[in-house]
Amino acid sequence: MSRALRLTGAALLAGWIAAPLLPLLVWAFTGRWVYPALVPQELSARAWTRAADPHQQVIAATGTSLGLALATALAATALGALAARGLVLYRPPAAGLIRLVLLAPVLVPPFALAVGVQEVFVRAGLADRPAGVALVHLVPALPYTVLVLIGGYAGYDLRMEQTARTLGASRYAVLRHVTLPALAPALLAAATLAFLVSWSEYLMTVLVGGGVVTTLPLLLFASAAGSGNQAFTAVLGILTFVPPVVLFGATATIMRRHRAVWAEADPPAAVPGSGPPAAVPGSGPPAAVAGAGPPAAVVAAGSGSSAAPPRFGPSDSTPGPGRSAAAPEAGPPAAAAGPSPSATPPGIDR
């Protein structure tokens, strides 16, 4: 009885999630599907041919979207890593306040930011340029990378770098062989989040790009709002959907493999870090190294005050702007942390 109930619940949930997405797959290969037919009257790949036509700008827009998202991911991850390093390893004055300020942009309304930025850019000559759009995408992406990398640095031991230096490694060698490998999962999760924030952005791209910078979401919006060509809208939708999914899958796979390497090398060390609470900044034991820590830390950081570290003082216990891993559009981001549940060893969860 309860088993039947559970299966029904799962089926309902799966149906609810798939309901809007599955029809897209059918629409994308439809030639003619006029109301009230339940199945398409004619199947065709016409919409795909149309998308491949250079006049429709789809290919160019995909390139622009990819370029912007990659640039945003790179810049946001680099800035986030530097800031997290400074906050976690060197504890500057007012670290709690700085952290709050860096996370605040998750709450900033996109319209207000876009019109304000446009005022700045018109004065600075950056209006209607891809570089300006990339700079705007950086603002909402930054909180996610900061948050993820604060988690990534939580279990990081600066003495590893010092030891390598003492043994004669150059600064570059330390970065290449100590810092980057230890932070790899967190860096990857952060970059994925930033990529998705930029990839999904619509309003700020329109307002700051001034119609000159055309990305995939702009084409999708235009088609959905006015064309009446459902097949073409569905094709654009699928094109918008595929890169995030591929990215997630790849990130999850890489993280799982990375963790496996660490787990084999040093099983006891991996265990304490893999439970979300242990991986929170400050509370994680130093032994909880990269492999298991960061993905879990993303989620834990999002979970908020229950696990808030005492380090940053009372100001930190307010859920000010963005104590949290994920803003709605971050949704995708939080998902980047995907593998964390699977990374939890069976023994620790009950």
DSSP class of 225:
I
Asked if residue 318 binds another protein (CB under 8 A), the reply is yes
For CA atoms 200, 202, 208, 212, the dihedral sign is positive
Stretch that binds another protein, among 40-48, 49-57, 262-270, 294-302 (CB under 8 A): 294-302
Q: Which of residues 199-258 bind another protein (CB under 8 A)?
A: 199-200, 202-203, 207, 217, 220-221, 223-225, 230, 233-234, 236-237, 240-241, 244-245, 248
Q: Which of residues 100-119 bind another protein (CB under 8 A)?
A: 101-102, 104-113, 115-117, 119
**Which residues, including other chains, have CB under 8 Å from residue 293's CB and lie 6 or more apart?**
151, 152, 154, 155, 185, 186, 273, 274, 279, 284
Asked if residue 323 binds another protein (CB under 8 A), the reply is yes
Asked if residue 167 binds another protein (CB under 8 A), the reply is no
Among 60, 66, 120, 160, indicate the residue that binds another protein (CB under 8 A). Answer: 120
Instruction: Give the residue with the Cβ less far from another protein, 103 or 269.
Output: 103
Q: How many residues bind another protein (CB under 8 A)?
A: 112
Q: Which of residues 12-51 bind another protein (CB under 8 A)?
A: 13-14, 16-17, 19-21, 23-24, 27, 35-38
**Which residues, including other chains, have CB under 8 Å from residue 31's CB and lie 6 or more apart?**
40, 41, 42, 43, 44, 46, 231
Provide the residue count of the chain: 350
Instruction: Give the shortest CB-255-to-another protein separation in angstroms.
Output: 13
Instruction: Give the residue with the Cβ less far from another protein, 20 or 54.
Output: 20
Asked if residue 267 binds another protein (CB under 8 A), the reply is no
Q: Which of residues 56-95 bind another protein (CB under 8 A)?
A: 79-80, 82-83, 85-87, 89-93, 95
**Taking the chain, what is the end-to-end CA distance rounded to the nearest angstrom?**
24
Residue 246 and residue 308: Cα distance in Å, rounded?
A: 33
CA 62 → CA 198, 213, 230, 272, 339, distances in Å?
Answer: 13, 11, 19, 42, 28
